[in-house]
Amino acid sequence: MADPDYVIAVHDSPLDIAKSDWNGLLALQPDGNPFMRHEYLAAMHNSGSALPATGWTAKFVTLWQNQSGTTHGPPRRILHAACALYLKDHSYGEYVFDHAWANAYHQHRLAYYPKALVAPPFTPVPGARLLARDAKARAALLRAVIGWCEEHGLSSLHILFASAVDADACANSGMLLRHTVQFHWTNRAAASGGAYRDFDDFLASLAQDKRKKIRQERRKVADADVRFRWVQGEGIRTADWDFFYRCYERTYYEHGNAPYLSREFFRSMAHAMPENWLLFLAERQDQPVACSLIALNDMASAPATGKVAYGRYWGALERVDCLHFEACYYQPLQWCIEHGYHRFEGGAQGEHKMARALLPVKTSSAHWLAHPAFADAVDKFLEREGKGIENYIDGLEARNPFKTALVQRR
């Protein structure tokens, strides 16, 4: 794991790394987002959401170089590369599914867990994973991480929802690439120099049947006497956050699971990252009945990606036909158009999103397996799976909801 060009350190907590060092490095990445900010990762840790007790043991890897100081001062360490690595003793909260791999290891009486994961916990949003000042530092970081996994006898390393730059670095290092599909909305008019004037202008770009369906769904919500308001940043009151968490928690329990994130996590978000959150509140007779929470990037942290909104969480205390579509798609898309946002990412899975004008986008993860025979078997599996993904996307393209079909791939 030694590298003559860098001082390598492994940290048991994101709190061991200065916020200014981490966020300064993140700001240099072409595909950064709020979910890799120091505040976000620290909140995962401090709130108890991602700790050894929940199966997430932090082992953040950093690469440093010493910079000569002034004649009166000591040398200063400069952070050249870093990644958020977690040891996992399960595969929950990842959204790239490897349960079949774990079962195969178990059947051969081999230990799959603990494994190493590089990604922000519970966050299936593509972006920078191997934070680095340049390609040399990124390659050195990857060598250090794989070397650390080998030294500790881990079964595997998984870098999830990686940026294109990171995926290329992983492929060059010999890691196996795996692809999945998400659904993103893009303000394509904005990309070509214009912008949708309003939601009706956006609807006009859709095929007639899709346009009619969206209008019918929105009318059902309005006819149920449900109205929406949005609040952003510090305008989201504690009572609004409390209501959101009731909805978020209820959604998880209705699906038979405890929520991944604690109320304390969102309390930290309200305090440390208010500018990155947008809340849509659905109200009936002035009483909230549902909500959706959207994350926003800030241009300073991701200048190359433009203004991006991320669909994250939703929940409802009452059943209203089509309320989910209104809260999670139509309200956010309308807001994005009105505020000049370039992209809305709808999160993991969900073919139903295509009917709401979110188009398929291929996302990438990278995998290293220590056992040569299993690595070979997974490589063959990923080759077959990759062909299936390409065929799947081709099939989705045939269902493009726009008048002029234009499917964008990441």
What's residue 117's pLDDT?
A: 98
CA distance 251 to 257: 9
Please compute the mean of the pLDDT values over residues 46-69 and round it to a whole number: 93
Question: For residue 362, what are the β-bridge partners?
Answer: 181
The pLDDT of residue 299 is above 80: no
Confidence (pLDDT) at 4: 85
Between the alpha carbon of residue 16 and those of residues 11, 19, 209, 260, the distances in Å are 6, 9, 54, 24
d(CA 23, CA 62): 13
Work out the pLDDT band at 410, boundaries 50, 70, 90: very low
Contact of 270 with 232, CB cutoff 8 Å: no
pLDDT tier at 408 (50, 70, 90 boundaries)?
Answer: very low
CA-based diameter of the chain, in Å? 73
CB 308 within 8 A of CB 33: yes
3-state secondary structure of 278: strand
Per-residue pLDDT at 54: 96
SS3 223: helix
| 182 vs 191: CA distance, rounded Å | 20
pLDDT of residue 348: 81
Which residues neighbour 171 within 8 Å (Cβ) at sequence distance 6 or greater?
Answer: 177, 366
Banded pLDDT at 75 (limits 50, 70, 90): confident
CATH 3.40.630.30 residue ranges in the chain? Answer: 7-182+362-395, 184-361
Q: Is the pLDDT of residue 218 over 80?
A: yes
What angle, 0 to 180 degrees and rounded to 10, lies between the N-to-C axes of helices 263-272 and 238-254? 140
Tell me the fold of 7-182+362-395.
Aminopeptidase (3.40.630)
pLDDT in tens, 100-159: 999 999 999 999 999 999 999 999 999 999 999 999 999 999 999 999 999 999 999 999
Taking 50 as the threshold, does the pLDDT of residue 354 lie above it?
Answer: yes
What's the sign of the alpha-carbon dihedral 342, 347, 348, 354?
negative
pTM: 0.93
The answer to whether the peptide bond before residue 114 is cis (omega within 30 degrees of 0) is yes
Q: What is the pLDDT of residue 306?
A: 81
3-class DSSP state of 65: strand
Residue 407 has pLDDT above 50, yes or no: no
What pLDDT score was predicted for residue 74? 67
pLDDT at 270 over 60: yes
The tens digit of pLDDT for each residue in 368-378 reads: 999 999 999 99
- Determine the Cα–Cα distance for residues 25 and 211; give it in Å rounded to an integer: 43
Other C-beta atoms within 10 Å of 37: how many? Answer: 22
Distance of alpha carbon 73 from alpha carbon 76, whole angstroms: 9
Burial class of residue 124, CB neighbours in 10 A (0-12, 13-18, 19+): buried
184-361: CATH topology = Aminopeptidase (3.40.630)
Structure tokens at 410: 């990441």
pLDDT at 406 over 80: no
Q: Which long-range contacts (CB under 8 A, 24 or more apart) does 200-208 make?
A: 201/337, 202/333, 202/337, 202/357, 205/402, 205/403, 205/404, 206/357, 206/401, 206/402, 206/403, 207/401, 207/402, 207/403
| Angstrom distance (rounded) from CA 101 to CA 157 | 13
Question: Looking at 297-392, which runs of residues are DSSP E strands?
Answer: 308-316, 343-348, 359-369
Percent of the chain at pLDDT > 70 equals 93
Note the pLDDT of residue 71: 57
Residue 301 confidence (pLDDT) above 90? no
3-state secondary structure 365-388: EEEEECCHHHHHHHHHHHHHHHHH
Pairwise CA distance, residues 44 & 59, whole Å: 14
The pLDDT value recorded for residue 350 is 83
189 has pLDDT over 80: no
Confidence of residue 73 (pLDDT cuts 50, 70, 90): low
State the pLDDT at residue 302: 52
Relative to beta strand 115-118, strand 156-162 is parallel
Judge contact between 79 and 67, C-beta under 8 A.
no
Q: Phi, psi (5° rounding) for residue 31?
A: -135, 50
Q: Could you give the CA distance from residue 167 to residue 163 in angstroms, rounded to a whole number?
A: 6
Q: What is the mean pLDDT of the chain?
A: 93
Average pLDDT of the residues in 327-339: 96
| Predicted confidence (pLDDT) per residue in 239-254, tens digit | 999 999 999 999 999 9
More confident residue, 290 or 193: 290
For the segment 377-385, the average pLDDT, to the nearest whole number, is 97
